Amino acid sequence: MDPKFQRMVLSDGHFIPVLGFGTYAPEQVPKSKAMEATKIAIDAGFRHIDSAYFYKNEKEVGLAIRSKIADGTVKREDIFYTSKLWCTFHRPELVRPSLEDSLKKLQLDYVDLYIIHFPTALKPGTEIFPTDEHGKTVFDTVDICATWEAMEKCKEAGLAKSIGVSNFNRRQLEMILNKPGLKYKPVCNQVECHPYLNQGKLLEFCKSKGIVLVAYSALGSHREPEWVDQSAPVLLEDPLIGALAKKHQQTPALIALRYQLQRGVVVLAKSFTEKRIKENIQVFEFQLPSEDMKVIDGLNRNFRYVTADFAIGHPNYPFSDEY
Ligand code: NAP
């Protein structure tokens, strides 16, 4: 098999391509860009596409996937598509309708993976970030295990082949894993992960439970001012990563992506730039020796780009625990 189609088995027996294409872009970027970039990504060899209700681009990403099926580049079963349940839909009765809404926008019959985007529930309604008269986010109280049971029903209905979570800490993963009557474990936990936040402990825990860790912001994040402190260090300008790139005649981005694959992490890479999309798939063309992996491990400083301040103060805010 072509190395760029490399996959990892999930605990429910389905397979996930180890390199995924990220589609999140700031609000001001036209959604048509997500469509163009997704088509380029599929042409380049990406088979795993990551999106979400929250990204407001599922119509365009669905169009891109369907056009690549229509022109014969891929079959539906070649594509692994992930969508995410947004925080305003955590109440169990809202879970399936939310997935059905995504499917309608996508014009697909199923998603390959449906994940709880973030463990904090927000007040249900049409606003992504419901706020009170003081501009403060309005939280909701929903038992995360009840949300999970509704996710299990989506899998049983065939609307999602696999189900998982995102931005969960160890304690929250354990809550689900220890839930009485659990039918399906989360197949993955999609979290921020890169050399400055390498998630070593969470990765070890996930591996011990058969949960695949999926890395987002693996290139140092989109650095959108609304989400990321602009004084945060620029990962791809790190001198050590730069030196390794030079040594291996690769780019810093490829070093950051390759690092994840070699530690058993599924990695997402977002780019809406054709040249970089084609560059990122070259991650399968080289290897890092163990001494260089250790050098990258040494860069860890538990530095988080995306602190998700909207959820601070919620009892399920995940980033206060050590991991
Ligand atoms: P990322 O993958 O860390 O990096 C994106 C940035 O790197 C973009 O600015 C991109 O620019 C640039 N880039 C891409 N390839 C490059 C290369 N070869 N050389 C230099 N620069 C390069 O971005 P992210 O959006 O933070 O994370 C990736 C994906 O993870 C998202 O798109 C989304 O699907 C997912 N995600 C999930 C969550 C969650 O809560 N579950 C949170 C954040 C992200 P250009 O586009 O201009 O090329």
**Residue to substitute in 216, 265, 275 for testing ligand 1 pocket (most ligand atoms within 8 angstroms of CB):** 216
Residue 317 has pLDDT above 90, yes or no: yes
pLDDT tens digits, one per residue of 122-167: 999 999 999 999 989 999 999 999 999 999 999 999 999 999 999 9
Sort 51 into a burial class: Cβ within 10 Å, 0-12 / 13-18 / 19+.
buried
pLDDT given at position 4: 82
Nearest CA to ligand 1 atom 42: 216
Distance in Å, CA 166 to ligand 1 centroid: 16
Distance in Å, CA 222 to ligand 1 centroid: 5
Pocket of ligand 1 (CB under 6 A): 22-24, 50, 117, 166-167, 190, 216-222, 236, 251, 253, 268-273, 276, 279-280, 306
pLDDT tens digits, one per residue of 246-284: 999 999 999 999 999 999 999 999 999 999 999 999 999
Residue 2: pLDDT band by 50, 70, 90 thresholds?
confident
User: Cα angle at 186 between 181 and 191, to 5 degrees?
Assistant: 145
pLDDT tens digits, one per residue of 80-108: 999 999 999 999 999 999 999 999 999 99
- In the 3-class helix/strand/coil scheme, how is 164-223 assigned residue by residue? EEECCCHHHHHHHHCCCCCCCCCCEEEEECECCECCHHHHHHHHHCCCEEEEECCCCCCC
CA distance 49 to 227: 22
pLDDT tens digits, one per residue of 38-79: 999 999 999 999 999 999 999 999 999 999 999 999 999 999
Q: Which residues pair with 267 in a beta bridge?
A: 19, 215
Nearest CA to ligand 1 atom 13: 271
pLDDT given at position 5: 87
Question: Which atom of ligand 1 is nearest to 190's Cα?
Answer: 41
What element of type H or E holds 49? strand 48-50
Catalytic residue among 55, 216, 259, 305: 55
Q: Which residues pair with 114 in a beta bridge?
A: 83, 163
Distances (CA, A) of 300 to 55, 101, 197, 293, 296: 29, 39, 5, 12, 8
CA distance 283 to 196: 20
Distances (CA, A) of 14 to 11, 27, 120, 222, 316: 7, 33, 28, 30, 29
**Residue to substitute in 222, 223, 227 for testing ligand 1 pocket (most ligand atoms within 8 angstroms of CB):** 222
pLDDT given at position 3: 76
Assigned token pair, 259: 């690092």
Distance in Å, CA 145 to ligand 1 centroid: 30
Contact in structure between 49 and 82 (CB atoms under 8 Å): yes
User: Quick check: is 55 catalytic?
Assistant: yes
pLDDT tens digits, one per residue of 232-253: 999 999 999 999 999 999 999 9
Phi, psi values for residue 108, rounded to 5°:
-120, 160
pLDDT tens digits, one per residue of 165-210: 999 999 999 999 999 999 999 999 999 999 999 999 999 999 999 9
205: left (phi over 0), alpha (psi -120 to 50) or beta: alpha
Q: What is the rounded average pLDDT for all residues in the chain?
A: 97
Count CB neighbours of 78 within 10 A. 13
Contact in structure between 68 and 21 (CB atoms under 8 Å): no
Nearest CA to ligand 1 atom 19: 253
Residue 1 has pLDDT above 80, yes or no: no
- In the chain, the percentage of residues whose pLDDT exceeds 70 is 100
CA distance 178 to 173: 9
pLDDT given at position 131: 95
